[in-house]
């Protein structure tokens, strides 16, 4: 599959970028996408929630009443979950929600996500550019020239560019990402992908391994 390369004014440069059929000619794997997105979201969870069990509650351990003859259930201490202020049974404890996925499955998921974007004509190739100073207004103009104003877009650049990153950082519906950090969630979460010309080669090199 070939896509035209445009400049930041939205004008066709006459150049084309080829997406290898060896990589992007496969049938998309929906389950791989699901698992990779699930792992990404799970890894974002802090997992710092905690509840006090009966061993953590600061209350008296004195026996409340005699064992037998009261007509009620026996009770050992006020730390029991049965009493108000007592410890919680099976409450949440700090934990790590992340889980392991094989590298090939994650690679398959990223390829599948990109295939869906390519088939949906939601990928724009823009020639490599830089900004002299961080200017959100200038970044918005670039998106407008590419007919992406107001749309949820992901700008993928070949290498870290501080001015481009800072220019797009304040926009709620746009994100700037380095090609080596591209993941399935970011691809699927964006309506449109904007790939810089050199980032395409980096992405294909990563996905072909």
**Domain shared by 80 and 132, yes or no:** no
Total domain count for the chain?
2
pLDDT of residue 1: 81
Structural domain including 119 reads 2-45+98-207
pLDDT of residue 199: 93
Q: Is residue 24 a contact partner of residue 104, using CB atoms and an 8 Å limit? A: no
**Domain shared by 164 and 83, yes or no:** no
The alpha carbon of residue 94 and the mean position of all alpha carbons in its chain are separated, in whole angstroms, by 22
**Domain shared by 123 and 167, yes or no:** yes
Residue 139, C-beta contacts closer than 8 angstroms, at least 6 positions apart: 131, 164, 167, 168, 171, 174
**Domain shared by 91 and 180, yes or no:** no
**Domain shared by 117 and 29, yes or no:** yes
End-to-end CA distance of the chain, in Å?
A: 20
pLDDT of residue 30: 96
pLDDT of residue 126: 94
pTM, two decimal places = 0.82
**In 51-183, which residue ranges form alpha helices assigned H by DSSP?**
103-119, 136-145, 162-169
**Domain shared by 111 and 12, yes or no:** yes
**Domain shared by 142 and 66, yes or no:** no
Residue 129, C-beta contacts closer than 8 angstroms, at least 6 positions apart: 7, 8, 142, 164, 196
pLDDT of residue 101: 95
Please state, in angstroms and rounded to a whole number, the distance separating the CA atoms of residues 88 and 55: 10
**Domain shared by 191 and 154, yes or no:** yes
pLDDT tens sequence for the chain (209 residues):
889 999 999 898 989 999 998 899 899 999 999 999 999 999 999 999 999 999 999 999 899 899 999 999 999 899 999 999 999 999 999 999 999 999 999 999 999 999 999 999 999 999 999 999 999 999 999 999 999 988 999 999 999 989 999 999 999 999 999 999 999 999 999 999 999 999 999 999 999 87
């Amino acid at each position: 599959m070939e896509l035209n390369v445009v400049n930041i004014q939205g004008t066709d440069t006459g150049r084309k970028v080829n997406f290898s059929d060896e990589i992007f000619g496969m049938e998309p794997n929906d389950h791989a996408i699901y698992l990779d997105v699930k792992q990404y979201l799970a890894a974002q969870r802090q997992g710092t929630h905690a509840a006090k069990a009966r061993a953590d509650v600061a209350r008296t351990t004195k026996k409340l009443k005699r064992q037998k003859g009261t007509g009620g259930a026996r009770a050992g201490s006020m730390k029991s979950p049965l009493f108000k202020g007592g410890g919680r049974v099976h409450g949440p404890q700090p934990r790590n929600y992340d889980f392991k996925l094989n590298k090939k499955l994650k690679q398959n998921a990223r390829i599948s996500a990109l295939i869906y974007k390519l088939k949906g004509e939601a990928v724009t190739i823009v020639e490599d550019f830089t900004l002299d100073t961080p200017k959100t207004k200038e970044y918005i103009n670039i998106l407008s020239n590419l007919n992406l104003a107001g749309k949820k877009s992901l700008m993928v650049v070949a290498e870290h560019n501080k001015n481009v990153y800072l220019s797009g950082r304040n926009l709620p519906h746009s994100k700037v990402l380095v090609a080596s950090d591209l993941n399935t969630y970011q691809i699927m979460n964006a309506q449109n992908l904007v790939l810089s010309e050199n980032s395409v080669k980096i992405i294909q090199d990563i996905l072909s391994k």
